[in-house]
Structure 1
C-alpha cells in the first residue's frame, strides 16, 4: 500500500497490528483520526496512554482494574467461595451480562496451547491453586471455550485441583463444541452456567 505520507503510513501500520484490523480498515481509521481536531486526537491518545499505564491486574483474580483489588473481588455481596475460571476479561463481561452469577472470578490470561508456545506456567493456574488451598473455596466453575485448547486447560486444572476438597464444575454443553464464549449470547451462556455439571460427569460423557 503506497501512501502519500510516511506519517500516515506509520499510523496505518500501527493500527493494523490490532486484532481483526486489516490494512484497509486501518487506513480508514487513520484518515478518520486525521480529520479530527487536535483536542479530540489528544483526548484519544491520552485515554490509551492512561489505560496502558494506570490499569492494573487485580491481585486476587487478575481481572483488569483501576485498583489493587477489583470491584467484584472487593464486593462483600459476592460469594467468595465460588470461583468461575475464565480465559480473559471479555469472558468476565459476558458472565456479568447474564445477571445470574454472584460468585467471583479467576482470569487465566489465556489457554494452554503448545502450538502457540503457551504452557501452564504462562497462565495464572498456580495462583488459582493457591486460592483454593488458602481461601476455603467450595466450588470452581471451569468456564473456558469448548475448543481443544479450552478442554486441555480444563483437564490440566482439574488434575491440579482434584486433591483438594472442592467441587469442580464445567459449563453444560449447551455451548456448542468449538465455541468461543465471547460470541455466545447471554441467555445460552446463562443456561449453561445454571445447568453446569460436575467435571467428572463431563469426562464420562
Structure 2
C-alpha cells in the first residue's frame, strides 16, 4: 500500500472496467512520471468529455449534440432499426460498412444476477420508436452470450405482436477458425444457421 493520494489514484484507476490492481498501479506510476503538461491535458479532456458528451435523444448513442450524427444523417435507411446493447456496439457495426440503417442503444442487457431487468433498459423507448410506421425491420444485435440471448428472446416476444420483421444477427464459426477448436454452442449455431453454398 502507498501513502495518501497515490493510493487514492491507484484505487480510482482500479475501479475502471478491465483495469486490475497491477494495471492500476502501473498507470498511476506512469502518470506520476509523465510530463505535467500531458497529465493536465488528460485531466482537461476527462472534464471536457463529462461536460460535453451526452446521449442522443433518439437512439441513445453518445453525442455532443441533442441527436447523434447517425440520427441526423438523411441518407440512412429509415425502415431498418438495429438494436444493440451498448454504444460501443454501434462503432463495431459501423466499422463493417454493411449496415446503413439506424440504431437503438439499450444501455445493457438483461442480467438478473446483476439486478438488471427489462425496466432498467431502454426497451420502453424502443417500443415508442416502433410506432413510426416507416420502420419495417428490427435487427437484434445483442451479444452472443447468456445475457444477450436473454435480451434478444425477451425483445422478440415483445416486438413480434407489432407486426414487424424481427431478425437476429447470424452466429457461428469465425472466418479462419478450425472446427476442432469451436465450442459446442458455436458449432451448433453454425449448423442451425447454414445456408446454400454459392
Name the TM-score class by shorter chain: 0.7 to 0.9
What does the per-residue CA deviation read over 1:10-57, in whole Å, with 9 as the maximum and x for residues that have no partner? 100100100111111111111111112222111101111111121110
Residue in 2 that maps onto 1:127: 125
How far apart, CA to CA, are the structure 1 residues paired with 2:162 and 2:118? 19
What does the per-residue CA deviation read over 1:152-182, in whole Å, with 9 as the maximum and x for residues that have no partner? 1111111211121311000112368xxxxxx
Name structure 1 gaps, 5 residues minimum. 177-191, 198-205
Name structure 2 gaps, 5 residues minimum. 175-189
Q: Which has the higher contact order (CA 8 A, sep 6+)?
A: 1
Query: Structure 2 matches for 1:1-80, cutoff 5 A?
Result: 2-3=1-2, 5-80=3-78
How far apart, CA to CA, are the structure 2 residues paired with 1:67 and 1:6? 39
Match of 2:100 among 102, 118, 125: 102
How far apart, CA to CA, are the structure 2 residues paired with 1:32 and 1:86? 35
Instruction: State the shift of 1:149 in Å.
Output: 1.2
Residue in 1 that maps onto 2:158: 160
Residue in 2 that maps onto 1:89: 87
Contact 1:138/1:167 (<8 A) preserved: yes
Instruction: State the SS of the aligned residue for 1:156.
Output: helix
Instruction: State the shift of 1:67 in Å.
Output: 0.6
Distance verdict in 2 for CA 1:62–1:135, change over 3 Å: farther
**TM score, norm. by length of structure 2:** 0.84
How far apart, CA to CA, are the structure 2 residues paired with 1:97 and 1:6? 43
How far apart, CA to CA, are the structure 2 residues paired with 1:26 and 1:80? 44
Instruction: State the SS of the aligned residue for 1:105.
Output: strand
How far apart, CA to CA, are the structure 2 residues paired with 1:38 and 1:145? 40
**TM score, norm. by length of structure 1:** 0.82
Instruction: State the SS of the aligned residue for 2:154.
Output: helix
Residue in 1 that maps onto 2:142: 144
Tell me the C-alpha RMSD between the 2 structures. 2.0
Contact 1:82/1:104 (<8 A) preserved: yes
Instruction: State the SS of the aligned residue for 1:29.
Output: helix
Q: How many residues are matched?
A: 178
